[in-house]
């Protein structure tokens, strides 16, 4: 026995290069410090500036979070609906909205916006946020208390709400409407859902950011990863470049910082990983999300997946002539995620019925097939979160176009996936897939507006690090 050999656990960097705080109670959330045991070490290191800003955010959150003196005082402003003197703490409330992948991306976007504007992020628990995610900040909760006065209005907030920022701008007859907003409202609702209009989109302009600065409560509803457009706001530019010298690491770091699976979800992740993936020499994730209507599996989607895997040498071809080929020692485990089981069954059968030309041993696994998207069932979203996480633990990843489920997996994992082009007219696209430029998620509904010139522009052509996405030509992503 060698007392001096550090254990595997000690050698791994459980604080992820300083991203995480030491000192959380390990028994309350096993995944927080265990995740390093399941991941390859990240190729990226968080900047010292990002680390220091996270620590100062944590201090702010502790001072201003739920039921602190500052929180209670700022809450008073909501009741009087007028704010006369500036407040000690300002808040950003994130409304739980849309599918789980979307929620993870919007919550990270909201956190970055809070960081940039010195606001405290509070999370509407919705139906299952508490069940899925551990507390990311020490000591004081990030969840919005259930007695928050506006809570029962969250569902009805939309573009017609009197406090909606876009609507305020539309209704305003004053030339300097924005100053009016900042001085007279205790809360403003930000509608950043994909159906938002030109006025709502002015959120991404410097002038409007100035007018929102003094509003104590901002309430945000969104289903989009809007980070790329924050990089186009001049007043955020310097800070963002200090935080993220490598632009494509934004979600990679914020995701690893914020999203720790709760113990029930971590059990789903670790049991599955150990049983089916740990022993393979290489792990290949294939995330299948079919937006076509009708019941799959579809032959054209299956053809596309196999064409992509073979063409890009992610998986070996099979031999239909030679019944037995000497087995090499190398094994590959394929993790397929999909709402239906059909694709998995066909890929598994292919590697059972025929040998691989390389002699590699291929095993194929799919954790669940939930058949359709369900929103209110606990185990459903636990499984969805576990599967995104498992995909992020693979070595090579194939994802589906347009899917935030895949974006979460790729960025958390630090993986540049091969993305399957979206099939048109029920035919497999040719080429079937391409490698993406960066691991960042795509912003599906960005504004195309030049705030200074007050006219439309192609926001994918303004700076070299904000480009159009591979899977959605009008989307924007960081590269
Ligand atoms: P997106 O619609 O692909 O952008 O991803 P979202 O996560 O926002 O919404 C899709 C929802 O459908 C997920 O949250 C799950 O509830 C469900 N879903 C889609 N694909 C899968 C899958 O492969 N596995 C599981 N378990 N659920 C899935």
pLDDT in tens, 176-185: 555 566 667 8
Of the two residues 180 and 121, the one the predictor is more confident about is 121
C-alpha 379 – ligand 1 centre gap (Å): 13
Determine if the pTM surpasses 0.90.
yes
What pLDDT, on a 0 to 100 scale, did the predictor assign at position 182? Answer: 62
Residue 3 confidence (pLDDT) above 60: no
pLDDT per residue over 14-45, tens digit each?
999 999 999 998 888 999 999 999 998 889 99
Q: Percent of the chain beyond pLDDT 90?
A: 83
Q: Which of 318, 310, 323 is nearest to 351 (CA)?
A: 318
Mutate to test the pocket of ligand 1, among 101, 104, 297, 390 (most ligand atoms within 8 A of CB): 101
pLDDT at 425 over 90: no
User: Does position 133 have pLDDT exceeding 50, yes or no?
Assistant: yes
**Which residues does a 6 A CB cutoff place in the pocket of ligand 1?**
98-102, 289, 337-339, 368, 370, 373, 380-381, 383-384, 387, 403-405
Helix (H) or strand (E) holding 406, with range, is: helix 404-413
> How many Å separate Cα 370 from the centre of its chain?
21
The per-residue pLDDT for 400 is: 98
- Does the ipTM surpass 0.85? yes
The protein residue with its alpha carbon nearest to ligand 1, atom 26, reads: 384
Q: What is the mean pLDDT of residues 390-403?
A: 98
Residue (of 470, 467, 457) closest to 204 by Cα position = 457
Domains and CATH numbers, the chain: 26-258 (no CATH), 263-478 (3.40.50.11350)
Share of the chain above pLDDT 70, in %: 94
**Letter string b/e over residues 56-81, b meaning 16 or more CB atoms within 10 A of that residue's CB:** ebbebbeebbbebebbeebbebbeee
Residue 184 has a pLDDT of 77
What is residue 378's predicted lDDT score, i.e. its pLDDT?
Answer: 73
CA distances from 26 to 14, 316, 361 (A): 12, 42, 38
pLDDT band at 451 (very low <50, low <70, confident <90, very high): very high
Q: Is the peptide bond before 431 cis (omega within 30 degrees of 0)?
A: yes
Give the model's confidence band at 454: pLDDT under 50 very low, under 70 low, under 90 confident, else very high.
Answer: very high
Average pLDDT over residues 66-81: 90
CA-CA distance, 114 to 436, in Å (whole number)?
29
The residue that leads in pLDDT, 223 or 425, is: 223
Report how far ligand 1's centroid is from the alpha carbon of 99 (Å). Answer: 7
* Ligand 1 atom with the shortest distance to the CA of 289: 20
Crossing angle for the helix pair 234-243 and 100-117, to the nearest 10 degrees? 100
100 C-alpha to ligand 1 centroid (Å): 7
Residue 250, class by beta-carbon neighbours within 10 Å (0-12 exposed, 13-18 middle, 19+ buried)? Answer: buried
Look at ligand 1, atom 14, and give the residue with the nearest C-alpha: 100
In the prediction, which pLDDT does 1 show?
37
Please write the tens of the pLDDT for every residue from 77-117: 888 765 567 788 999 999 999 999 999 999 999 999 999 99
Task: Please report the atom of ligand 1 found closest to the CA of residue 386.
Answer: 26
pLDDT, mean of residues 162-183? 75
């Amino acid at each position: 026995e060698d007392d001096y050999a550090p254990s595997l656990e000690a050698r791994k960097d459980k604080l992820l290069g300083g991203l995480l705080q030491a000192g959380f109670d390990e028994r309350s959330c096993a995944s927080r410090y265990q995740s390093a045991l399941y991941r390859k070490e990240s190729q990226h290191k968080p900047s010292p500036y990002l680390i220091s800003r996270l620590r100062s955010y944590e201090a702010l959150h502790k001072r201003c979070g739920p039921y602190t003196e500052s929180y209670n005082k700022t809450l008073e402003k909501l009741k009087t609906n007028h704010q006369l003197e500036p407040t000690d703490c300002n808040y950003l409330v994130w409304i739980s909205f849309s599918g789980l992948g979307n929620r993870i991306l919007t919550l990270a976007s909201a956190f970055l916006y809070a960081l940039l504007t010195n606001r405290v992020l509070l999370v509407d628990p919705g139906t299952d946020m508490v069940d899925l995610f551990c507390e990311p900040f020490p000591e004081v909760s990030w969840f919005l208390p259930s007695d928050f006065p506006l809570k029962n209005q969250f569902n009805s907030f939309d573009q017609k709400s009197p406090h909606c920022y876009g609507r305020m701008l539309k209704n305003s007859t004053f030339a300097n409407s924005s100053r009016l907003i900042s001085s007279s409202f205790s809360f403003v609702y930000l509608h950043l859902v994909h159906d938002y209009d030109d006025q709502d989109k002015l959120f991404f302009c410097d002038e409007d950011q100035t007018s929102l600065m003094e509003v104590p409560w901002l309430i945000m509803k969104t289903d989009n990863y809007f980070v790329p457009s924050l990089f186009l706001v001049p007043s955020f530019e310097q800070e963002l470049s200090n935080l993220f010298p490598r632009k494509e690491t934004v979600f990679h770091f914020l995701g690893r910082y914020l999203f720790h699976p709760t113990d029930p979800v971590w059990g789903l992740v670790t049991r599955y990983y150990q049983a089916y993936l740990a022993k393979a020499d290489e792990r290949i994730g294939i995330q299948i999300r079919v937006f076509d209507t009708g019941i799959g599996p579809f032959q054209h989607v299956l053809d596309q997946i196999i064409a992509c895997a073979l063409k890009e040498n992610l998986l070996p071809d099979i031999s239909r002539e030679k019944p037995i080929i000497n087995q090499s020692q190398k094994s590959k485990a394929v993790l397929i995620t999909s709402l239906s089981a059909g694709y998995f069954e066909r890929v598994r059968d292919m590697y059972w019925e025929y040998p691989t030309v390389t002699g590699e041993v291929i095993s194929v696994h799919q954790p669940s097939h939930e058949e359709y998207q369900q929103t209110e069932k606990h185990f459903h979203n636990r499984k969805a979160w576990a599967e995104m996480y498992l995909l992020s633990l693979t070595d090579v990843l194939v994802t589906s176009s347009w899917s935030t489920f895949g974006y979460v997996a790729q960025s958390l994992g630090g993986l540049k996936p091969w993305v399957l082009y979206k099939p048109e007219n029920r035919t497999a696209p040719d080429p079937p897939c391409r490698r993406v430029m960066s691991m960042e998620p795509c912003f599906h509904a960005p504004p195309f507006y030049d705030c200074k010139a007050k006219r439309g522009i192609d926001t994918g052509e303004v700076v070299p690090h904000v480009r159009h996405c591979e899977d959605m030509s009008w989307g924007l992503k960081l590269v």
